[in-house]
């Protein structure tokens, strides 16, 4: 573990079939007014809304609702949410949903008392929060983003064709998150597999960097093996509790800052995916899977040793009598086969993107990288190779 680091994750996690039982006691830590934030209505269909409302009522809370948070929440919706939470003087923002709902709640939480325009301040200028933050709690209904235990809050500005994530500090992490794997049973298959690949991508973005012998990489390899095994089971049987619970906890550990410790990290698949998302509004995990093949083929020569380790340790590739290049390629091909097997979108065409979008995608891509820092010509090359 080279260098110095601080690990601090203050989110309290309640995990398991009975996790929701803890909400009533948690609510004692906050004031009278709770702003209940949720998405397009799945929580009403599943009955979770009624259960949460009953607990809030029992706890004598005044509930203000902020509904209709869309996947890839927009800046316009953010302005709406700020007003609802500000006018009601909410003392807790209770986010019930997936990453979009929780990200959005965090963005609202730092904006309620913000004097400037939050899009400009946090997303264009990347300024820190210097005003009061209204606490967020979450009840997670879909596994993938890790938003339940991190400071990430991704907002899309369709007018500017930008999708930007601000990673806020631990003071913005949810104070508590309730994780019942059974709540994920009703997630549509398309969303479930997108979430699974989001988890894989989060791990890869951290794993594909650095050359040192690092504890984080061993943890990442375990998380990836668990994810691969559990994903194949969950695709066959969405009601497999063991598989769904392993996926859910894997998602949290993949992006609660743990496996980033001592790592330079990459995040370029996410930069490409976010740019695609800004232009297409496609599902996050699918924007990542669609650019994966082209990106990793491009950077493989620059990080060959790590691709070789990935092949052997994660995909059980036998290196006997093979060149390092061959081992590395075999590993990537194993991953691509797994991605196809679970049903992911493997190119931008199948995602609905068209060639006339390429300029906007390239423009919206923040440059960076791990083993290879990309320039915009290289980004264009990778995007074109993803069609
Ligand atoms: O809106 P509802 O009706 O709730 O339906 C949602 C939505 O349509 C549905 N869903 C969720 N739980 C369900 C369910 N349907 C039935 N049963 C359930 N139990 O699934 C759809 C997708 O939900 P969404 O929250 O958009 O998915 P996800 O969790 O993948 O979140 C995506 C957002 O998170 C951002 C992405 O960019 C995107 O905006 N990310 C956040 C990160 C972070 N905070 O660290 C990191 C990620 O890399 C990612 O960028
Ligand atoms: Zn992601």
- 210 C-alpha vs ligand 1 centroid, how far in Å? 30
Instruction: Calculate the average pLDDT of the chain.
Output: 97
Confidence (pLDDT) at 132: 98
Instruction: Take atom 46 of ligand 1 and give the residue whose Cα is closest.
Output: 145
- Among 40, 42, 177, 279, say which to mutate for ligand 1: greatest number of ligand atoms within 8 Å of CB: 42
Distance, CA 211 to ligand 1 centroid (Å)?
33
Q: Ligand 1 atom closest to Cα of 153?
A: 44
The CA 107 to ligand 2 mean position distance, Å, reads 17
Contact 356, 342 (CB under 8 A): no
* Residue ranges, the chain, pLDDT below 70: none
pLDDT of residue 3: 84
Distance CA 121, CA 282 (A): 26
Query: Alpha carbon 365 to chain centroid distance?
Result: 18
Main-chain dihedrals φ then ψ at residue 270, nearest 5 degrees: -70, -35
Dihedral Cα 119, 120, 123, 127, nearest 10 deg:
-120
Pairing of strands 162-167, 152-157: antiparallel
Q: What is the pLDDT of residue 386?
A: 98
Residues 369 and 333: beta-carbon distance below 8 Å:
no
What confidence tens digit (pLDDT) does each residue in 53-97 have? 999 999 999 999 999 999 999 999 999 999 999 999 999 999 999
Nearest Cα residue to atom 26 of ligand 1 = 71
Ligand nearest to the CA of 102: 1
Q: What is the pLDDT of residue 1?
A: 87
Q: Count CA atoms closer than 13 A to 372's CA, side-chain side.
A: 18
Rg (CA), the chain: 20
Query: Does the predicted model carry a pTM greater than 0.75?
Result: yes
Please tell me the distance from the alpha carbon of residue 232 to that of residue 225, in angstroms, as a whole number: 11
Pocket residues: Cβ below 6 A from ligand 1? 39-43, 46, 71-72, 97-101, 103, 141-142, 144-147, 150, 152, 154, 165, 183-184, 186-187, 191, 195, 198, 255, 270, 284
pLDDT at 2 (0 to 100): 84
């Amino acid at each position: 573990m080279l260098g110095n680091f601080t690990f601090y994750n203050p989110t309290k996690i309640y995990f398991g079939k009975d996790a929701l039982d803890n909400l009533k006691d948690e609510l004692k830590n906050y004031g009278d007014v709770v702003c209940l934030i949720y998405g397009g209505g799945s929580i009403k269909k599943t009955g979770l809304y009624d259960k949460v409302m009953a607990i809030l009522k029992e706890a004598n809370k005044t509930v203000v609702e902020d509904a209709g948070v869309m996947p890839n929440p927009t800046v316009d919706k953010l302005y709406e949410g700020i007003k609802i939470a500000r006018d009601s003087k909410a003392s807790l923002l209770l986010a019930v949903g997936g990453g979009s709902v929780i990200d959005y709640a965090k963005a609202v939480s730092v904006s309620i008392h913000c004097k400037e325009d939050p899009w400009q301040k946090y997303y264009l200028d990347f300024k820190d929060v210097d005003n009061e933050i209204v606490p967020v709690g979450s009840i997670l209904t879909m596994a993938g983003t890790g938003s339940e235990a991190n400071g990430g809050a991704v907002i899309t500005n369709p007018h500017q064709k930008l999708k930007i994530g601000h990673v806020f500090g631990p003071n913005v992490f949810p104070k508590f998150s309730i994780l019942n794997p059974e709540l994920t049973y009703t997630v549509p298959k398309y969303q479930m597999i997108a979430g699974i690949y989001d988890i894989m991508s989060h791990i890869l973005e951290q794993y594909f960097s650095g050359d040192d012998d690092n504890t984080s990489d061993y943890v990442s390899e375990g998380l990836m093996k668990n994810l691969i095994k559990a994903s194949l089971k969950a695709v066959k049987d969405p009601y497999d509790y063991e598989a769904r619970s392993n996926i859910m906890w894997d998602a949290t550990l993949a992006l609660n800052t743990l496996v980033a410790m001592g790592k330079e990290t990459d995040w370029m698949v996410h930069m490409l995916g976010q740019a695609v998302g800004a232009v297409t509004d496609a599902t996050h995990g699918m924007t990542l899977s669609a650019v994966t093949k082209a990106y990793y083929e491009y950077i493989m020569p620059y990080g060959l040793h790590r691709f070789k380790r990935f092949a052997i340790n994660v995909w059980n590739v036998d290196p006997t009598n093979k060149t390092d290049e061959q081992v590395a390629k075999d590993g990537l091909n194993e991953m691509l086969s797994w991605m196809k097997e679970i049903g992911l979108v493997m190119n931008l065409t199948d995602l609905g993107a068209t060639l006339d979008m390429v300029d906007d995608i390239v423009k919206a891509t923040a440059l960076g990288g791990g083993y290879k820092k990309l320039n915009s010509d290289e980004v264009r090359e990778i995007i074109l190779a993803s069609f």
